[in-house]
C-alpha cells in the first residue's frame, strides 16, 4: 500500500487471468456534484486524465448507460488509447465502466468509481478489477493515483466551477 498526499492505493496481484484488482482512494475538497461532473465532461477529463505535466489528452464521451468514451493520452512516445463503455451511471453516487488500454492488453477490465460525501469534501473510491497481470495493476495504480492528483490540483486552482470544464 502506498500513500501520497491524501491518496491511498493498494494493488492486489492477479491470481488468475481475470483476478487482479486495485483500489485507489482520494479525498478532495470539492462537492460530490463537481467531482461527478468532472468524470463525465470531456473538456474536464482532458484536463486531468492525462499522463502528467507537459502532455495532453483528447477525449470523447457519450455519457449514458451503453454510451462509450475514449481518452487518447499523447505521450512523447506516441498516443495511448483508453476506451470503454458506461455500464452504470448513478448520479453523484457511482460510475461503472469497462476499460481497455495498452496496459490491459486491450482486454476488458472493469472500473467502479464511487463518490462519498464527507462534509465539504468528497472521497473518491476507484476500484479497477480484472487486471490481466500484476504489471497492469501496478501501471493503473500509478496512473489512477496521478489522475486523481491532477483532478485535485485543477480544482484547487479553480475560482469558478466552470473552469473545470475548460472555461476561462
pTM of this prediction?
Answer: 0.86
The residue among 78 and 129 whose pLDDT is bigger is: 129
pLDDT of residue 60: 98
pLDDT digits (tens, 9 = 90+) for 109-157: 999 999 999 889 999 999 999 999 999 999 999 999 999 999 999 888 7
Tell me the fold of 2-158.
Alpha-D-Glucose-1,6-Bisphosphate; Chain A, domain 4 (3.30.530)
pLDDT digits (tens, 9 = 90+) for 14-38: 444 345 899 999 999 999 999 999 9
Rounded CA separation 7/79 (Å)? 27
Domain boundary assignment for the chain: 2-158
Instruction: Give the per-residue pLDDT at 155.
Output: 87
Amino acid at each position: 500500500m502506498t500513500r501520497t498526499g491524501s491518496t491511498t492505493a493498494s494493488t492486489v496481484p492477479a491470481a488468475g487471468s481475470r483476478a487482479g484488482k486495485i483500489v485507489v482512494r482520494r479525498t478532495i475538497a470539492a462537492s460530490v456534484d463537481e467531482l461527478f461532473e468532472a468524470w463525465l465532461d470531456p473538456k474536464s477529463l482532458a484536463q486531468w486524465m492525462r499522463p502528467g505535466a507537459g502532455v495532453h489528452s483528447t477525449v470523447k464521451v457519450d455519457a449514458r448507460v451503453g454510451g462509450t468514451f475514449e481518452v487518447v493520452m499523447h505521450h512523447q512516445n506516441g498516443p495511448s488509447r483508453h476506451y470503454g463503455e458506461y455500464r452504470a451511471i448513478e448520479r453523484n453516487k457511482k460510475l461503472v465502466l469497462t476499460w481497455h488500454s495498452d496496459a490491459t492488453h486491450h482486454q476488458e477490465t472493469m472500473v467502479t468509481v464511487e463518490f462519498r460525501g464527507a462534509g465539504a469534501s468528497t472521497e473518491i473510491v476507484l476500484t479497477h478489477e480484472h487486471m490481466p497481470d500484476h504489471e497492469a495493476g501496478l501501471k493503473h495504480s500509478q496512473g489512477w493515483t496521478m489522475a486523481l492528483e491532477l483532478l485535485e490540483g485543477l480544482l484547487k486552482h479553480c475560482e469558478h466551477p466552470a473552469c473545470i470544464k475548460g472555461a476561462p
